[in-house]
Structure 1
């Protein structure tokens, strides 16, 4: 039975990075990018109990820059952990604190957890899975994600295409977590546990403009060589299923 909320669904977005200039100008922070994604998903769902303007309440927590400020679990229904340019496996104080907070949310509360890219890896790490550099290297721009039977049920489609921007991965599915999707470059693409967590390695919140800015910047700074740059730029304007994933996130929050 779906959860019938007497009030707005309270989603705390844990921002783990700052967007590049053009994206920041439009959305302010990655919290703004996700707010836009989830409100769009709510409109697409068209559910009376999830009006996009009145039934979604967002708060934003810049945990990279303000690592001592986290939402009180009693005041929220869900957390969403964003992507980041940082390494999810780094032994860095703010990242370690984020892992500990996520582990506590998962083990001690009923707060739902959504993780995206870096956030997906943080959830994996919080559940004691190994996280690190992917031996297969980068996965970037729009790529196919093959879904398991349960994945097809959760997303309502046979396959999803998502923007990707990572060279790190969760190496295996943690105990008690369902495998929903994989790709040739990354086995652990989607993790799921009913009423507990839903995470994706890809970026449903990215569009062509956001991805183009990232690829151009990483090419200009030497992270991507000319060959990689040309390969990824060919895929930035391909159709992608960010809206489908946003709807799945919302349906998960209402399970």
Structure 2
């Protein structure tokens, strides 16, 4: 995409609904990502409207939120698949539909694909790589991630600090992709194929407040123990590189 082309048309595929405090502030996860991209644009002294146009599409059947809505391929240049509490390896019909839609975008060659956390896993599954529950447990709050040389170039960083909220993993980097990052708990932290797709297992869009709400909610639900949450909360408000990752996504969209 050259510098004189109109801003890429990004469809955000919402695969979950935020918890109450986050929903009140941002509405849906498209609002969380729009806020992130706006901060990335501001960091470059540019209006977001000059870099991106964004539409939101809820893809989980849930009559209490919104009807399922996929964008028409001719109306978009890229998709971003959000994180989710759901499992990317499940065979619910809506997850299979999402995998098929993602695969069609990648195989078509024109629509670029960004995957974040659950979205990263959906892209991996669409590319034929197994997704499974890690036997190493949860990775949460701000974590230091080791970048490959490609990851360093794409995100403009030597080391990546990013929020995490997962225990499912993509088991390998897909054939034809370039590894972006890894941790001891999760060897496949992101992968990239120029002009086709880019993914991260972490959550560049999350803030300390969003992660704190998730941690406390899952503690009340009995998913996270008191000790686990106490340690994670100590890292929830640490400085992180979400804006740098968003700038990398914007560069990817204009490759």
- TM-score under structure 1 normalisation? 0.95
Cα-Cα RMSD = 1.3
Partners of 1:39 and 1:56 within 8 A in 2? no
Counterpart in the other structure of 1:86: 86
Q: How does 1:115-154 map to 2 (within 5 A)?
A: 115-154=115-154
Per-residue CA shift, 1:109-139, capped at 9, x if unaligned?
Answer: 4111000000000000000001010111100
Q: How does 1:192-231 map to 2 (within 5 A)?
A: 192-231=192-231
The reply to whether residue 53 of structure 1 matches residue 52 of structure 2 is: no
Q: Which runs of 5+ in 1 are unaligned?
A: none
Cα displacement (A) at 1:54: 4.4
Cα distance in structure 2, aligned partners of 1:21 and 1:153:
37
Provide closer, same or farther for how the CA distance between residues 118 and 93 of structure 1 changes in structure 2, counting only shifts above 3 A: same
Per-residue CA shift, 1:31-77, capped at 9, x if unaligned?
Answer: 10001111211221336xxx313442111100013675311111111
- Count residues in correspondence: 251
Cα distance in structure 2, aligned partners of 1:54 and 1:157:
24
Counterpart in the other structure of 1:36: 35
Partners of 1:113 and 1:197 within 8 A in 2? yes
Counterpart in the other structure of 2:165: 165
Cα displacement (A) at 1:5: 4.4
Cα distance in structure 2, aligned partners of 1:171 and 1:7:
37
Cα distance in structure 1, aligned partners of 2:67 and 2:108:
20
Q: Which runs of 5+ in 2 are unaligned?
A: none
Cα displacement (A) at 1:154: 1.0
- TM-score under structure 2 normalisation? 0.95
